[in-house]
Structure 1
């Protein structure tokens, strides 16, 4: 049975919640802390972790066949991805009715910009992040990374098929070459593609390093010190705007994934607890559902602003905020929204993610 890396799973949940707070803007609340203003970097962590886990699960499997492999990955991602795309198309219809009936506009006119009908087909095909002709942030904007992720699975299989026993060196070569191109500000590929390739294949190579040294025993005290130091480095990098921080973040996340795979310190012991494990289990749902929830919360605030005549949904530096009038109320709102996101994610995990995975297994096993 393939080993699960429980601590790394827990990080998925915490990083997903950090991305939620990055996308939510509430005046004078925790969302405005430097750490959460920089939490978009955690998508890099998702890619690195995916590369690590996929290399563990599939990279050294004998006689791996493409159809069952890609079907398994497809049904892991697509059911919820598709459902949320439909939700966002539905929200554009609601915006259209509000505009036509009441003349009310939510930031942008319906079916324009990120909601353009021309972006529906690229989103259905998960291609929106791969070309200069498509909008990676169209409709459910966090799904830009899922667009990248799915085709990284295909590329991983190609490295197994084309390079055989040299696959490990192909992973390292891809990661290094892409990092060099990123440092040189190359426009050879779309920026999001660069991010995904470098983190994913570097993560895959990181697994190879882990497999070579996993027999090492790290004392609890030493492990705890290193874990705290690594998380401190992550917090510093995420909280500060420095040149080439995406490159530094990629390299740092390789090290974080490698070391926390040992689960040797006090942080790992904490992250093995039930709550953090549950958040890891729901992390994909948290990541894909939160944008729709935030849109609805913000839209309610905009309607309330118009009805009450109070500025509870101000635009500050081109970003839409919510302001309930005090730091206490604003932070309570943030906590409430996080609870809503988690509750919705528990439901979508149970009724969409698990059902989709079960359907995929039935299809694979029927062949």
Structure 2
């Protein structure tokens, strides 16, 4: 059985919750702290970690077949992905009914903008982030990264079979070239594609580095100091607007993934606790379900605003906020939303993610 990297798994859950807080906007709450205002960077960490784990699981496997490989990846991502797409299409239908029956309009008119009918097929095919003719943030907006992720799996397989024993150098070459293009503000590819390619293939190469140095024994105290230093650097970078910070974040996340793979310090030991492991297990559901939950919460606030005549859901600098009248109540709301997202994610993990993976094994004839 392939080794699991428990500390890195736990980071998935914590980063997913940070992305949730990035998307929540509540006046005077923790969501407005600089750290959470910059937490969109953690999607890059997902890509780097994914490259690391995929290289570990598939990068050096003999006789890897495309059909079984891509089926396992497809049934890992697509069941929940398409379920949430259907939820968002359903929400557009609800908006349409409300608009036609009582003339109530939410943030946008139904089936316009990010919810346009023309975006349904690109989303079904998971190509919305790859072309200049589609909207990467259409419908379930966090799924832009899943669009990138799935086809990165295909590209990884191509490197295994096209470059053979030189595959590792192909991973490094892709990461370096793409980072260079990003540094020169290239428009050769879509912006989201640049992020995915550089982080994913750099993460794959990071795994190779790990295999060369994993025999090194790191003392607990030294490991703890290094872990704290790395996470402090991450917190600083995420919390501050720095030129080219996406490039710096990519390089930093390589180091974080590499070092925490050793699991040598106090933070790694803490992340091995069951609560963090559970969050890591539910992280994909947390990431994909939270936008729908936030839409519903915001919709309730908009209805309340109309009925009560109070600015419960004000627009501030182009963003929709929620304001229950005090920072205390707004923070209570934020915590409640997080708990709701976790509860829903635990359920979707059990009844959609796991069922989807089981279906994939059944379809492929695996035991």
Please give the TM-score of this superposition, normalised by the length of structure 1.
0.99
1:14 maps to 14
1:130 matches 2:130: yes
Aligned with 2:2: secondary structure?
coil
Counterpart position of 2:53? 53
In the alignment, which residue of structure 1 is the partner of 2:146? 146
Residue 163 of structure 1 pairs with residue 163 of structure 2: yes
Q: Alignment length, in residue pairs?
A: 367
> 1:361 Cα shift?
1.0
Query: How far is the alpha carbon of 1:21 from its aligned partner?
Result: 0.3
Q: CA deviation at 1:364?
A: 1.7
- 1:287 is paired with a residue whose SS is helix
Q: Superposed, which structure 2 residues align to 1:102-113 within 5 Å? A: 102-113=102-113
Q: 1:63 is paired with a residue of what secondary structure? A: coil
**Counterparts in 2 of 1:280-319, with a 5 A limit?**
280-319=280-319
SS in 1 for 2:135: coil
Distance 2:186 2:327 in 1: 43
Mapped to 2, the partners of 1:81 and 1:311 lie a distance apart of 34
CA RMSD of aligned residues (A): 0.7
Quote the Cα distance in structure 2 between the aligned partners of 1:181 and 1:335. Answer: 40
The aligned residue for residue 41 of structure 2 is 41
CA drift at 1:114: 0.3
1:365, CA displacement in angstroms? 2.1
Cα distance in 2 for partners of 1:292, 1:61 equals: 38
Cα distance in 2 for partners of 1:262, 1:365 equals: 36
Deviations along 1:172-220, whole A, 9 cap, x unmatched?
0000000000000000000000000000000000000000111110000
Structure 1: how far apart are the matches of 2:366 and 2:137?
Answer: 37
The whole-number CA distance in structure 1 between the counterparts of 2:129 and 2:80 is 18
1:224-235 correspondence to structure 2 within 5 Å = 224-235=224-235
Give me the whole-angstrom Cα distance separating, in 2, the residues matched to 1:313 and 1:96: 20
Quote the residue 2:349 is aligned against: 349
Is 1:175 aligned to 2:162, yes or no? Answer: no
Match of 2:333 in 1: 333
CA distance in 1, matches of 2:349, 2:269: 25
Quickly say closer, same or farther: Cα 1:12–1:366, change in 2 above 3 A. Answer: closer
Give unpaired runs (5+ residues) of structure 1. Answer: none
- Counterpart for residue 115 of structure 2: 115
Distance 1:258 1:363 in 2: 35
**Structure 1 residue runs of 4+, over 3 Å off?**
none
Extract unaligned runs of 5+ from structure 2. Answer: none
Match of 1:84 in 2: 84
